[in-house]
Chain A
């Protein structure tokens, strides 16, 4: 585990580890950091798919519910058609947003694996300073390459490079 005081240095450390294929990396930071994004080569989060699918389901159900109900109990007013689309657009619009947002939240919890009840994940106790001002780079590696990892992290500017619990 390497502890850094800036995202740039942490990203440098990650690059070194990945370039030499020393192990798999998990980064911890107090803020979302673009340098880390870049180093870990993250593309676009798949959350947008959840939102799209939720939105489409919301839109369809927003039209389906009023249309079903007007046929379920037909109440013709003024000789007009039962399906009056303009007011149903309002319902469909609201449900598109509601379902999109709800499935986005659900997608976030699934993808980010939250809520996390136990701290046993990855068998480390994460440092509380990572919510304050420190950037952490956790490398799970072969015991043989441990010293190489330490060196790479130190070289990148780690304040400390210790063995995680």
Chain B
């Protein structure tokens, strides 16, 4: 399936124009499959928006929230989407600092995943509050009631963490895009040209601009790295700072960060496999890249598995009856099916990647990544609802939580929104960084070319001159 041909050493300039034409080609006229995917995602988003309008009119009760389970699927979605965002930053920033060259091909798509996942996640706290039209009360601003927000509350930490994360991720993505948008501007011949011209900010590739660009890019990577760790730690403290059994735990921060990267990597694989096929980017996003992502999944899966063991061990070893009953209830109570599915999806199935055959098999990669996505969504659901539905007071216990259609529709809407934004992005912006691919070619200096060029495609690239248009 992967069209890897003989590695041909070409003059950099020839390979440069090949990279340009290959990547900019992906921004050409969309096919029927793409339009159908956009239509389905838009429909899903519309369905979610309708459900939200119902909730807006009738109140949060229509979402099935009643004492004691007052956080359920919305907060699950919130934590899930923040988690998805994390691998993008891991790939684009952390691996950049470690000079992991293979990240080049997948960094742009992952960084876009980050931005869209944070955008989706940040909607959920607003959807979840009883009066969403007052969401701005969360921001500290001088108001007529002379009240300030409570800075000791983790929910306010969330506001700061998420808004910082969103702002920095958007700037990081945009900064990387500037030279690529300039390339698109110079090659584009359709109605998008003026838009690219505006977005390229007048970039001309002059040395002065590259000098500051490279410096800022490295600094953004350095700023994003501690940021990504802090964001999911803060999300985990939403739970850990409370005193509820099953939530009040010191391992939550590292456990959540590892889980976030784990789920995000799976989502990146889920997105890249169809993307490279439909946009014919098999020469750029190769099996090797996917295999590296799968190896990272093994590492993070082992960390997550270790965290599960630690959690259960501490509950037992603490001798605290409330902790013990919570974890016993997770495994054998009303939610046993969800808990066991989560354990299997997150700690057993990903270990199949120890087999090189499965790591390099597209069907296996895709299937396992879907299991991980499901497992990680379930993990957040299990943590949230089991603890709430089964706390200190047996009179409060509420049995199995049941979502309503509104909650399900808004969840479908959130997935649709994420995919819609991603789909629109890949057709309008270079989904693989043109600059970084060329840079990799220059630095590798012909000894080890990352770009593998098949002999047939080299012929076609020779035919297409430098004046290629999108």
A binds B: yes
Which residue numbers of A lie inside 8 Å of B, CB to CB? 5-7, 26-33, 36-37, 40, 42, 44-45, 47-48, 51, 65-66, 69-70, 72-73, 84, 87-88, 90-91, 93-95, 97-98, 100-102, 104-105, 107-109, 111-117, 119, 126, 128-134
Interface centre among A37, A66, A107, A119 (most CB of B within 10 A): A66
Asked whether A101 lies within 8 Å of B148 as measured between CB atoms, the reply is no
Is B129's CB within 8 Å of the partner chain A? no
Interface centre among B17, B204, B210 (most CB of A within 10 A): B204
Q: List 18 A-B contacts (CB under 8 A).
A: A5-B12, A5-B13, A30-B438, A32-B213, A33-B442, A45-B212, A72-B146, A94-B157, A97-B227, A97-B230, A108-B213, A108-B216, A115-B201, A116-B201, A130-B204, A131-B183, A132-B183, A133-B20
Q: Please name all residues of chain A whose beta carbon is closer than 8 Å to the beta carbon of B230 when the two chains form the complex.
A: 90, 93-94, 97
Asked whether B211 lies within 8 Å of A129 as measured between CB atoms, the reply is no
User: Which of A27, A29, A128 is close to B186, meaning CB atoms less than 8 Å apart?
Assistant: A128
Give the distance in Å from the alpha carbon of A116 to the alpha carbon of B203 in the complex.
7
Q: Please name all residues of chain A whose beta carbon is closer than 8 Å to the beta carbon of B435 when the two chains form the complex.
A: 30-32
User: Which of A32, A73, A88, A98 is close to B164, meaning CB atoms less than 8 Å apart?
Assistant: A98
User: Can you name 13 extra interface pairs (CB under 8 A) apart from A28-B207, A114-B202, A132-B187?
Assistant: A5-B12, A37-B211, A47-B212, A69-B140, A70-B151, A94-B230, A97-B223, A97-B230, A102-B167, A105-B216, A111-B212, A126-B204, A131-B185
Q: Please name all residues of chain A whose beta carbon is closer than 8 Å to the beta carbon of B438 when the two chains form the complex.
A: 30-31
Is B459's CB within 8 Å of the partner chain A? no
Give the distance in Å from the alpha carbon of A134 to the alpha carbon of B227 in the complex.
37
Asked whether B466 lies within 8 Å of A132 as measured between CB atoms, the reply is yes
User: Which of B147, B148, B164, B171 is close to A94, meaning CB atoms less than 8 Å apart?
Assistant: B164
Asked whether A36 lies within 8 Å of B207 as measured between CB atoms, the reply is yes
Which residue numbers of B lie inside 8 Å of A, CB to CB? 11-14, 16-17, 20, 140, 146-149, 151-152, 156-157, 160-161, 163-164, 167-168, 171, 175, 179, 182-183, 185-187, 201-216, 219-220, 223, 226-227, 230, 234, 435, 438-439, 442, 466
User: Which of B13, B147, B157, B182 is close to A131, meaning CB atoms less than 8 Å apart?
Assistant: B182
Take A97-B223, A119-B202 as given contacts and tell me if A73 and B147 are in contact as well, using a CB distance cutoff of 8 Å: yes
Give the distance in Å from the alpha carbon of A39 to the alpha carbon of B160 in the complex.
44
Take A47-B219, A90-B234, A102-B167 as given contacts and tell me if A114 and B201 are in contact as well, using a CB distance cutoff of 8 Å: yes
User: Which of A42, A44, A69 is close to B151, meaning CB atoms less than 8 Å apart?
Assistant: A69
Q: How far is the CB of B147 from chain A (nearest CB, A)?
A: 7
Give the distance in Å from the alpha carbon of A48 to the alpha carbon of B220 in the complex.
11
Q: How far is the CB of A79 from chain B (nearest CB, A)?
A: 15
Listed from nearest, the 4 A-B pairs whose CB atoms lie closest are: A116-B202, A45-B215, A133-B16, A128-B186
Asked whether B439 lies within 8 Å of A94 as measured between CB atoms, the reply is no
Take A30-B435, A32-B439 as given contacts and tell me if A100 and B160 are in contact as well, using a CB distance cutoff of 8 Å: no
